[in-house]
């Protein structure tokens, strides 16, 4: 596991709310929600574009096919949540945790993801193209068939993740340690592999991209 340290969410004075959609409507003028805990909420097609969520907890919430484009999350914890097929494009995340969450098929294009911890979650088929990662730890998470094209990152750690069939086109992998991850069938430019840290089995798999045949 990486020694990378990140800032954790800072939570205080949280009020429990059961009706997320009502909370969105009541804050439709200022576009800001603070100090709320949303628990056991189940909604579809929520429209929360441009909303700011600060000092909030989402616990056991299901909000699939929802729109959080250009939203901002600061000091937020997501635990046991399902946001599958939702839109987080151009969203911002800072001091955020995703624990045992499902975001399969989500759009996170051009998202800013800072001081974020993702653990034991399912992010398969997520589109992170052109996203900006900084100080991020991703552990024991399914990222199979995800798109990380033209991504920029500084201080990112993958541990025991499934990255099979993921795309890293025009994304520099120098200095990133993939040795504990599944890393087969990826799409990547050869030049961008320079400096990536892989184990011997991954190196054999990646040699196929060079057209090598190893006896």
25 located within any domain: yes
Question: What pLDDT digit, counting tens, does each position of 156-201 carry?
Answer: 999 999 999 999 999 999 999 999 999 999 999 989 999 999 999 8
Structural domain count of the chain: 1
- CA-based torsion, 54, 65, 121, 180: positive or negative: negative
33 located within any domain: yes
Query: Which one, of 159, 155, 101, lies nearest residue 133 by Cα?
Result: 155
The CATH number covering residue 86 comes to 2.160.20.80
Question: What pLDDT digit, counting tens, does each position of 69-118 carry?
Answer: 999 999 999 999 999 999 999 999 999 999 999 999 999 999 999 999 99
27 located within any domain: yes
Answer yes or no: pTM beyond 0.85.
Answer: yes
Residue 196: burial class (beta carbons within 10 Å; 0-12, 13-18, 19+):
buried
1 located within any domain: no
202 located within any domain: yes
8 located within any domain: no
Domain containing 105 equals 15-209
Q: How far apart are CA 113 and CA 132, in angstroms?
A: 6
4 located within any domain: no
């Amino acid at each position: 596991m990486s020694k990378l340290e990140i800032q954790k969410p800072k939570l205080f004075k949280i009020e429990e709310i059961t009706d997320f959609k009502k909370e969105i409507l009541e804050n439709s003028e200022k576009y800001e929600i603070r100090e709320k805990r949303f628990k056991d909420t189940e909604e579809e097609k929520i429209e929360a574009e441009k909303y700011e969520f600060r000092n909030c907890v989402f616990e056991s919430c299901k909000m699939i096919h929802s729109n959080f484009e250009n939203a901002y999350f600061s000091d937020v914890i997501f635990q046991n949540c399902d946001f599958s097929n939702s839109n987080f494009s151009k969203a911002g995340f800072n001091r955020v945790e995703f624990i045992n969450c499902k975001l399969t098929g989500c759009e996170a294009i051009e998202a800013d993801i800072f001081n974020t911890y993702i653990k034991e979650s399912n992010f398969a088929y997520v589109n992170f193209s052109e996203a900006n990662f900084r100080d991020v730890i991703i552990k024991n998470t399914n990222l199979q068939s995800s798109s990380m094209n033209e991504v920029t990152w500084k201080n990112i750690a993958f541990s025991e993740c499934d990255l099979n069939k993921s795309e890293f086109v025009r994304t520099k992998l120098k200095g990133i340690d993939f040795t504990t991850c599944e890393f087969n069938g990826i799409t990547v430019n050869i030049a961008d592999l320079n400096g990536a840290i892989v184990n011997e089995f991954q190196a054999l798999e990646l040699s196929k991209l060079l057209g090598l045949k190893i006896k």
